[in-house]
Structure 1
C-alpha cells in the first residue's frame, strides 16, 4: 500500500482509456500431492505507450504471488501453490485480484492435484476406464500399476464395491490372474475364453510322421497362458506353453506331430488337452495305420475272433436259459457259416456245424459229418481233438463208447492240464468229476487257481453254486470272482445270495467286490439278510460318505440289529437337509451321544424341532443337550444348527462372562456352502475392518464371520489365484438373530471388547449411554478399516452434538487428530470445534480448507476468540477467515479493527468494511486512507466520494493525499466535464488560503465552478478567487475561464478580445497549431503554424482576435508526427466576451457586426465617431514619453 501512495503522489494522474488483458482465461496448475509448484500468466496493457502498474492478491493461503509488483506493457506474473495435505485428484479454485492503474480485475485459477504414475511405469492413469485401456494395450505394465498406491487411491474414489474388490484381489503380488478377475468383476472386460476351431483331428493311412495343426481360437482380450499336454505316446507337441506372441490376431496354429512308429495297426485314439486358469477343452486325435500285405490276414483274424466271441455269448445265454433253442440255433448258424467262409480249411467251423445238427436232432447227418472229419484231426490241437471226442459221445451214446471217449479226453487233459477248454469238456465227460457237486466245485477251483478266467467256467461254477449253495463256505478271492461274475450277469439265485450275505457278515474288512455282490443281490431280492450284510460291511469299512446313507437308512427302517448302525446313519447324513430322523434313532441317542459335535448339533436340532410333538423325548434329551451346548460355546464352535440351538436354549441358562463374551464374538457368523468342492480356502474381506480373514473349506463348507451384506468372499487356489464368490454359493444364516434372543442390554455387558458385537451394535438403535459407549469403543479399535473409521468418528461427533452431549463431545474432540478424519469431513469437525471452544485446534484444521462452506457466524466466533487471545495475528489464514466472516455480515469490533488495520482487497470490499467500522465507531483512519489510495490508483471516479475525503481530513490525514484526491476531482471536472462537488471547491480555496501547494488544474476547476455559479461566490472568497485568477494570468495560463473574472482582476481585460483554441490531451507533448482566417467565402491560401502552448496538465490553449464574419479554420498535430491530426475545427468570434467588454474593441466589434447585419447607416456613423475620438485621445494622452 505504501508503494501505491508513492505512485499517486509522485506522478500526475493520466486517464487511461484502455484495459488489461491476460494470457489465459483460467490460470491452471497441476501439482503433486504434498509438493509445491509454480505457474505464471502474463498481463498485457492495451496502451503500448502507457505501462501498467500494480500488484496481485489472492484469498487462498496456499496460493502465493511471487511477483510482488508489476510495471510494464507486458508483465509475467509468477505464482506458487503448496499442496500440503491434499490428495490425488483434489481440485481447488479461486481468483487472483489484480489491482492496477488500469483498474481492478479478477482472473480465476484452478489447481488440480495430479495422480502420480507408478514409478514412471504406467503414466497418467486417473480412472478405472484409463486403467482398462492401459491393460488392453500393455498388460504387463497394467499389472505392475495395479499393485501401486496410486491405483489403490483410484479404486477408493471409484466406489466402495470397487475398493473392496481391490482389497481382496491385491493381497498377492504381481498376480496376473487376479488383475484379470478385477477387471471382469467391474464389468471392464469379458472373461477370456479359448475354443478349438476343429473338435477332432483325423488322419487316415499314416505312413510316416505326420504334421497336423491344432487351431485355437481366442475370444476376448487379456493375458494368455495356455498349457498344452497329451499322454499318448504317438503324439508329440511342438511346445507345451502358449502365450500372447503365439496368436496371430485371435488364432493360434499349434503343430501336432503323429509318430507312425508308435502306432499300432488300425485306429489309434488320443487326446490333446488345452487348459488355462479358467477352464480347459479336449481335442480328439484319430490316426489309422495299415500295413501292406498284412491287412487282409489281420482283417480275417479280427472277424474270426468276433464270431468266436459271439458264439461264446450265445452259448452262455443258452446255458443260463436266457434265450430259447430255436433263436439260439438260428444265430449260431449265422456265426458258423461266417467262420466257415473265413477259413474253409479249418475243422473248427465244421465241428460247430456238427454240434448244431445234433441240437436239431439230425443224427444221421451228424454221424456222416463226424466220420468225414475224423481224417482231418491229424495235426490239430489237443483241444480240437477233445472237442471232436465230446461230439462223438453226443452222437454215439453207448456207455462203452462214452467211457472210452472220456478216458481218451482225461488222458489228453493229463498231458495238457493248463488247457482250460479240455477242462471244460471234462465237466461233461468225466464220471469222476460229476460224481459229486463238491468234486466238481473242487475241479473248477483248481482251474481258477491255474489262472483260468474263461466265462464258460465261471458260469459253470455259478450254476453249480446255485444248485448247491452249501458248497460256499468262505469268500476267498476265487469265490469272490465267481460271485461277482454271477452277480453282474444276474445269475445268482436267492439261496446263493443268502449264503453270500451270511458269509459277508463274517468278513473283517470292507471289500468293494463283496459290496458289489451284495448290492446286485439286493437289487434282485430285497432281503433283510442281504441288507444286514451290506450295512455290516460298510460299517467295517468306516463308510461315512453321504452316498452310503441310503443303506444305513434302509437298515434303520428294517430295524436291523447291527452294531453302530445308528451312529453311521447320522455320520452319513447330509447335514444341510432339515429332515426328521426315525424315532428309533432319536431314542438310541437319548441317553448317550458320542458323535462328533457337528453331527450331534444336527441331532439336537432335530430334537429341538420335535419338542412340541414329543415333549417327553425332549425332556430326556434336555440335560445332555444343555451340557453339549455349553461345551461347544466354551470352545467357540458355531454352525447353522448350533446357532439355532444357542438361541433356543442358552438364554434360559446361567453362564459366566467368558461364555457371554464368546456369544458376542459369534455375532455375524454365517455358514457358507460352495458348489465348487475343489476349493480349499475361503477369504472374507470386510467392508468395515482392515485386512482379511482366511478360512479352510471342508467339503465346500465353512463358517465365516460376515458383518455386512457388502462384505466380499473369495476362493483361493494353491497359486493364490482368487475368484469372487457370487452365484455358486449358498448362505445359511448362523447367528443373526442372537440379539433378539438375548437383547442388546445383555450382549452389551459381555461384548465391550468384541468387534463382532460393536459392529452389530453400531447398526442398531441403542439408548444414548449405550450408543456413546459403543461408538466410542469402536472408534478406538485398531481393526477398523481407515475409510470406515474416519466416517464413524465423524458420525459420532455429529450425533453427540445433535444430542447435546457436550461433556462427551468435548472429551472426544480433545483427543481427535486430523489423520482420524477424512479430508472431506474435516471442515465439519472444525465447525464442531468452534462451537465447543477448541478455537486453536479448529484454526489448525482449517488449513487449506474452503472457508466459504462455514457459516459466517461460526467464522466470527472463531476469529473473535483468536483475536482476543492475540493468536496467529501475522498469519494470512486469520486475515482471510476474518474477511470471510465480515464481508458476509458477521463481525464484531475486534474483527473490524483487525481488518481495518491490515486487510487488502478490492475497493468494494474495503468500502463494506469501512461502513461497518463506522457503525462500530472504531478507528477507520488506516482503512479510509487505504481505500482513498486504491480508488485513486485504479482510476475510479472519486467525485462523489467527498465523504471519504472529509473523514480522512477530520482524522488528521496528510495534505499530500488530500492534494492527490483534489487533483483527481479537478481532472474529472475540467478534462472529463463531470460536475464538481462544492466541498471540493472549498477545500481548494482553503488550501490556497493556507499557502499549500495547489495544482493549476485544481485552481481552474474552482474558477470554472464559480464561473457557472457566480451567485455562490461569497464575499469572503472573492479575494482568494481574484488571487487565483491573478496567479494564473501571471503564469501565462490563459484560458477562456479567466475572462469571466475581469471584474475582479483588471489585468484580465487584456484578453477579453481573445477567442481561444483549447485542446485537452496528453501532457508533455509538443503540439503544433495550423490555422488560417476565413472571411465569408474567402480564405487564406496558406495555413500558419505556431506552437500550441501547454498552459496546464494536458491543456493546450491559444487566443486569437476575431470579429463578426471572421472564422479561424485550424487543425492540431504533434510535432514528431505532423501527418497525425489530433483535432480540427472552425473557430468563431465570442459574442459573450464582446458584450461584456467596453472600449474600442467593443465598438469595432459592434461596427463589424452592424455592417454584417446591414443595419442603419446613422447608427454606424455614431459608433465610428466614438471609436475615432477614443483612439485620438488614447494616442495623445497615453503616448510614449520621449
Structure 2
C-alpha cells in the first residue's frame, strides 16, 4: 500500500484498473456438523499483471491460510471450522477482497448437515437409517457399529443411548452387540424361532437316511443357533446357524440318521436347537430292523415272547397277577412262538404251563413226546435239556428221578455251564439247599458277582431274607440291589426293613442307592428308626439341598437325637418360606449358634417376622440379633433376611454415625432374578458413576446395587455377550432406602447415597439448602462422570447467582471449564462469568463456541468490561472480532468504537460505517481515517463520502504524503476520467498548490474554475501565470481558452481549434483528417496526436469561417489498431473584431457571404495597411 501511495503522490497513475476475476461467483458448501472444510478459489485480473491484496472474512469460522497475496494468479486456501456447529445451521458471510486492482465481495453460504456414514444405501445420518441398513446389509452395519465415529454420528444428541452402546460393545460378539443395541433402542424385536416338527419317527434297515427340519424365524436380525443332539446316530451338516443363513425367514436344518450307530430295535434321541433366548427340543424315535426272511422274523417274535414270559412269571410270583391270568398270558405268548422241529423251547414251556395249571395228564403226554427225542434234545441245548430234566421231577415226583436230575444239572453247572437258570433249577430240586438258605444265598450272590442281574434270582434272594432276616448281615452292592428290588415290589418284611436300616446306619459314608432304599422303605414302614437312618445318611453325605429338607423337618418334629440335625434342618430350609420355624428349632438355637451367617440371618428374620406369635422367644433372641445385625452391617453384608434385621433394629431414632456410615453400602441392594440358564452374571452401570458392578448368578439370583433411575442392567452369558432388553429378568429391592436416607444424610458422604439423593433432587427439580449441600459433596466423588460433575457445578452457580452470593458464585464459576459445560447451560454460565468479570474464561469459551447465540447486550457488556480492564495497546484479534460483530448488530458504546477505530481493518464500506459512528460519538478517528484513506487509494474505488473522511483527516493531518496522494488521485479522476468530485476539494487543492507544485491538482483546479466568473484578481494572476507556464512546457489543454475573457492567453493557443482525445498513455494515438470545401473532400492526412498530459492527446488546427474538418482517431497498441471515434470540426463562432489576422480574415469571409462589399473593401484595406506597418516596424531577428 505504501508503494502505491507514493506513486499517487507523484502523480503516477494507471489509466485503467484491470478487472478482478474470481474463479467462484460465490462459495456455497455443505459440511458435516462437527468437522472442518478446506477449499480454495482463485483471484486473477484481466491484465494478468501482478496484484497485491488482503482478505477479510466477515465470519470468525472462515479463515485463510494466508490473508495476504501477491501475484498475477493467486490461489486462496480457506478453512471453515464447523467443529462446534450443530446439524441444520446455516452460516452466511462475505469475503472482502481488497486489492490494488479494486475491491470485491465474495459471498459464502455454509450449510451444516448431520454427521453421516457413507454406505451402499447412501448417507446414513440417524438411527432409523442405520436400522434400515442393518436390515439390508448386516455386515456393513456391523462395520459402522464398531467404528470410532459411531457415537459422534448417531448418538451426539442421544445421551441416553451412549452408555448402552459403550457397554454392549464389550460383548464378545459384535453381531450380538448390534442386535441387542437395535432391540434396546426400539428399532426391532428379538428374533424368535419355530420348528415345523417336534417328533420325528423313522424305520431303518442298513442305509442312512437324510432329512431336514424347517426352522422359521419371526423377523430379520442376528441370531446364533446351536444345533446338537444327545445321540451318535444323528449327524448335522451345520452345528451352528446364523441369521444370514436364512433364505427369507426359513432355514432347512439338514441331518443324517446313521443306522450303523444304532442298536437293533428301538432307538431314541433328541435334537436340541438352542439360542441364548430359547431352546427347542425335537424327539427322534428310530427303529432299526434287519432285512430278514419270514422265519427269522418269527424267531425274533419268539424271543420277545420268551422275554415277556419271564416278566409274567415275576409278576405271578410277586402276586401282581393271579394264577389264572398267568396261565392265560403264558399260553398266548407261547402260541406266538415259531414252530421249529429242532427247537424244543415251545414244547418245554407248554409242559410247564400244563403242570402249573394242574393238568398233569396233558403234561405227561407232552413229556413222553419230549422223552422220545431226549438224545436230540441233550445234544442240541444244555439249557433246554436241563429244563427237560427239571420238568420230569415236577411231573413224576420221584426221589430217584429228582436225584438224577439234580446230579445231571449240577454236573453241567459245575463243569463249565454256570447259567443262572441252571442254578434256579437246582434251587428248586437239589436236596443240598433244603433247609440251607445261607448256601442258596451264597450261590445266588456268586451269580450276581458273575454279572447276572436277573429279577428271578433277586426274588429268590428276597424270599430268603424275609424267611431269615439275620442272613442280611452286610450291605454291599448285591444286598442293595436285592433289597431295592424287594422294596420296589413290596416284598420286604418289617424285620428285613429294620435289619436293612440298622446296617445302613452303620455305614460311615453316604450312598445314594441306600438313601433311595431307605426312602422307599419309609413309605411302607414309617418307623422312627428308618426316619433316623434317612436323616443320618443325609448328614453323612452333607446334603443341604432344599429337596432333603422334608426329612430334616420330620426328624426335628420327631425330636430325633441326631447330631447336627438342627443345623441341617436350617441349611436345607427354603429361605423364601415365611412359615414359622418349629419351636424346638427356635429353642435349640437360643444356646447353640454354630450356624453360618447366612442361616443365622434366616433364623433371626423368621423370628422377627413372627415375633407376635413367639414373643418370649423373640425377647430371648433380641440382644443376640441386634449384635448380629450391627456386625453384619459393619461388614456391609446384605440379603433378603438381613434386610429384615436392618429394618427391625435401625430406625431414625437409633441410627448413630457408625450405622449411618455403613447403611449406604447395603440399602440400595437389589435382587436380580433370571431363569435363563445361559445367563451367568449381571453387570450394572450407573450413568452417574463410572464404576461397573458385576455379580454372578447363583440359583438364578444375583445381588447388585441400584441407586438411581439411570441404572442399566446388563445380563451376561457364559461367553461374555451382554443383553439389556432381550432377556427377561426380575428386579426387587431388599430394603426401603428412603426409610434411612434422612438419618444417613447427617453423617455419611457415601457416593451411592449422594448420587441417589442427587438423582431425586434432579427429577423433582428441588433446589434448596439441602440439595445444594448434596451437590457440593458430589463434586468430590472420584469417578464421577463429567456430565454429572458439571451438572452439579451449573446448579450451584445458578443457585448462588439467584441468591446474590457473589463470592460463592465466583468460586464455582472458577471451577467450570466452559468447554465441558452442557450446551443448553453454556450461555447462562457465560452471562454469570461476564457479570463477575471472568473475562479470560469467557474469551476462551466464545473463541471455541462462538458468540452468535449470546445476547448482543451481553456481548457488548463483555467487550466493554474487557476493554476497561485491559491495555488499549494490546490488540486482541478475538476482542476485535467480537466488537465488529456487536457493531454489525448496531450495538456498541464508546469503548467498542475506540477499539474498532484503533484496530479494525476490513472492507472500505465497513470501515466507513465505523468512522461515521465514531464521529457521532466524538471519538478520535485519526487512526481509522488514515487506514481508510490509504485503502480507498489502494483499491481506487469510488466511495461516496470519501471527502468527509479526508476532510476530517485534513483538519489534523499527520501524513502529508497521504494528502498529496488523495488530492492527486481525485484530481486525476476528475481530469482524465471525468469523475464528479466534491467541490470542496478544489479549495484544498488551491491551498496545497501554495506549498508545493502539483500540476495534476493545478490542472484539475483550472478546469473546475474555467467558467468561474467570480475569480479574484489574485486568482486571475495565478491562472495567467500557470497557463503560460503550462503552455510553455507544452501542456496545452482546450479549456485554457475558456479564460480568454479574463486573462491574456498565450499567442499559441489564440484562434486555434483543438481535438482532444483521452486514453491510456501507453497507446499511440493517430488522427486522420481532411478539409471539406464546397462539398469537395481531400485525401485524409494522418498525424500522430502527442500526449500532452497523462493520456490527454491533443491536435490543434486553424480553421476559418465555414471551414469543416472531418477526422477519425485510431489507437495503436502493439499490433492492434482500433478506430475509436469519428467527428467533424468546424469554426462555428461569430468572428470578433480582434486585431488578429485570423479574425480579420474570418470577418472578410463573413461579409463576403453577406454580400456586403463596402465592409469587405474596408476590411481588406485595413488588413493590407496592418500588414504593411508590421513589415516596416518589425524585422526578423537574425
TM over 0.5: yes
Deviation at 1:541, TM superposition (A): 3.5
Q: Which residue of 2 aligns with 1:16?
A: 17
2:910 aligned with 1:915: no
Match runs of 1:324-343 below 5 Å: 328-329=326-327, 331-341=329-339, 343=340
Q: Which residue of 2 aligns with 1:1131?
A: 1128
- How far does the alpha carbon of each residue in 1:117-142 deviate from its partner, in whole angstroms, 9 at most, with x for none? 9xxxxxx9999999999999999999
Deviation at 1:350, TM superposition (A): 0.8
User: Aligned partners of 2:662, 2:493: CA distance in 1, in Å?
Assistant: 61
Q: Which residue of 2 aligns with 1:182?
A: 177
2:757 aligned with 1:756: no
Distance 1:895 1:467, change over 3 A: same
Distance 1:440 1:964, change over 3 A: same
- How far does the alpha carbon of each residue in 1:975-1028 deviate from its partner, in whole angstroms, 9 at most, with x for none? 555533221122222223x1433343x44544554456x467577755555555
User: Aligned partners of 2:352, 2:656: CA distance in 1, in Å?
Assistant: 91
Q: Which residue of 2 aligns with 1:121?
A: none
Give yes or no for contact 1:827–1:845 (8 Å, CA) kept in 2.
Answer: no
| TM-score, structure 2 as length reference | 0.78
- How far does the alpha carbon of each residue in 1:95-151 deviate from its partner, in whole angstroms, 9 at most, with x for none? 754311320434759999999x9xxxxxx99999999999999999999x9999888
Q: Which residue of 2 aligns with 1:1158?
A: none
User: Aligned partners of 2:930, 2:556: CA distance in 1, in Å?
Assistant: 108
User: Aligned partners of 1:256, 1:8: CA distance in 2, in Å?
Assistant: 101
- How far does the alpha carbon of each residue in 1:426-463 deviate from its partner, in whole angstroms, 9 at most, with x for none? 55556886769999878866765675421123245557
User: Aligned partners of 2:364, 2:440: CA distance in 1, in Å?
Assistant: 30
Q: Which residue of 1 aligns with 2:99?
A: 100
Give yes or no for contact 2:1071–2:1113 (8 Å, CA) kept in 1.
Answer: yes
- How far does the alpha carbon of each residue in 1:565-618 deviate from its partner, in whole angstroms, 9 at most, with x for none? 77656544554x575456759966884676544444455555555567887876
Give yes or no for contact 2:96–2:907 (8 Å, CA) kept in 1.
Answer: yes
User: Aligned partners of 1:60, 1:1098: CA distance in 2, in Å?
Assistant: 43
Give yes or no for contact 2:90–2:112 (8 Å, CA) kept in 1.
Answer: yes
Q: Which residue of 1 aligns with 2:73?
A: 74
Give yes or no for contact 2:98–2:104 (8 Å, CA) kept in 1.
Answer: yes
Distance 1:981 1:198, change over 3 A: same
Q: Which residue of 2 aligns with 1:672?
A: 672
Q: Which residue of 2 aligns with 1:316?
A: 314
User: Aligned partners of 1:701, 1:955: CA distance in 2, in Å?
Assistant: 91
Query: Structure 2 residue aligned with 1:352, among 349, 353, 356?
Result: 349
Give yes or no for contact 2:40–2:76 (8 Å, CA) kept in 1.
Answer: yes
| TM-score, structure 1 as length reference | 0.77
Distance 1:956 1:233, change over 3 A: closer
Deviation at 1:1038, TM superposition (A): 4.3
User: Aligned partners of 1:1022, 1:218: CA distance in 2, in Å?
Assistant: 113
Give yes or no for contact 1:139–1:222 (8 Å, CA) kept in 2.
Answer: no
Distance 1:589 1:971, change over 3 A: farther
Structure 1: tracts of 5 or more residues without a match: 118-123, 1156-1160
Match runs of 1:633-1032 below 5 Å: 633-643=633-643, 645-647=645-647, 649-652=649-652, 654-666=654-666, 668-677=668-677, 681-690=681-690, 692-714=692-714, 721-728=720-727, 730-734=729-733, 737-738=736-737, 740-744=738-742, 746-752=743-749, 754-765=750-761, 768-786=768-786, 788-789=788-789, 792-794=792-794, 796-814=796-814, 832-840=832-840, 842-843=842-843, 848=848, 850-855=850-855, 857-858=858-859, 861=862, 864-865=865-866, 868-870=869-871, 873=874, 875-885=876-886, 888=889, 895-942=896-943, 944-974=945-975, 977-992=978-993, 994-1000=994-1000, 1002-1010=1001-1009, 1014=1012, 1021-1024=1019-1022, 1030=1028
Distance 1:510 1:319, change over 3 A: same
User: Aligned partners of 1:3, 1:194: CA distance in 2, in Å?
Assistant: 85
Q: Which residue of 1 aligns with 2:1113?
A: 1116
Distance 1:1170 1:827, change over 3 A: farther
User: Aligned partners of 1:99, 1:515: CA distance in 2, in Å?
Assistant: 104
Q: What SS is found at the alignment partner of 1:366?
A: helix
Match runs of 1:455-466 below 5 Å: 455-461=455-461
- How far does the alpha carbon of each residue in 1:215-236 deviate from its partner, in whole angstroms, 9 at most, with x for none? 9999999999999999999999
Of structures 1 and 2, the one with the larger relative CO (CA 8 A, separation 6+) is 2
Distance 1:495 1:876, change over 3 A: same
Query: Structure 2 residue aligned with 1:367, among 331, 344, 364?
Result: 364
Q: How many residues end up aligned between the 2 structures?
A: 1147
User: Aligned partners of 1:58, 1:1162: CA distance in 2, in Å?
Assistant: 74
Q: Which residue of 2 aligns with 1:54?
A: 53
Distance 1:858 1:247, change over 3 A: closer
* Residues 103-112 or 947-956, more deviating: 103-112
Match runs of 1:116-155 below 5 Å: none
Query: Structure 2 residue aligned with 1:1067, among 1043, 1065, 1068?
Result: 1065
Give yes or no for contact 1:216–1:252 (8 Å, CA) kept in 2.
Answer: yes
Give yes or no for contact 2:205–2:288 (8 Å, CA) kept in 1.
Answer: yes
Structure 2: tracts of 5 or more residues without a match: 118-122
Superposition CA RMSD, Å: 6.3
Give yes or no for contact 1:882–1:899 (8 Å, CA) kept in 2.
Answer: yes
Match runs of 1:288-327 below 5 Å: 303-323=301-321
Distance 1:843 1:372, change over 3 A: same
Q: What SS is found at the alignment partner of 1:480?
A: helix
- How far does the alpha carbon of each residue in 1:687-722 deviate from its partner, in whole angstroms, 9 at most, with x for none? 333353443443343322334454445566787x34
Give yes or no for contact 1:167–1:685 (8 Å, CA) kept in 2.
Answer: no
Deviation at 1:352, TM superposition (A): 0.8
Q: Which residue of 2 aligns with 1:480?
A: 480
User: Aligned partners of 2:197, 2:15: CA distance in 1, in Å?
Assistant: 91
User: Aligned partners of 1:1056, 1:252: CA distance in 2, in Å?
Assistant: 118
User: Aligned partners of 2:1113, 2:201: CA distance in 1, in Å?
Assistant: 105
Distance 1:589 1:1173, change over 3 A: farther
* Residues 297-306 or 774-783, more deviating: 297-306
Deviation at 1:312, TM superposition (A): 1.1
Give yes or no for contact 1:860–1:890 (8 Å, CA) kept in 2.
Answer: no
Q: What SS is found at the alignment partner of 1:1072?
A: strand
User: Aligned partners of 2:373, 2:521: CA distance in 1, in Å?
Assistant: 48
- How far does the alpha carbon of each residue in 1:816-855 deviate from its partner, in whole angstroms, 9 at most, with x for none? 6689768998887666444323444555666655355555
Distance 1:1005 1:542, change over 3 A: same
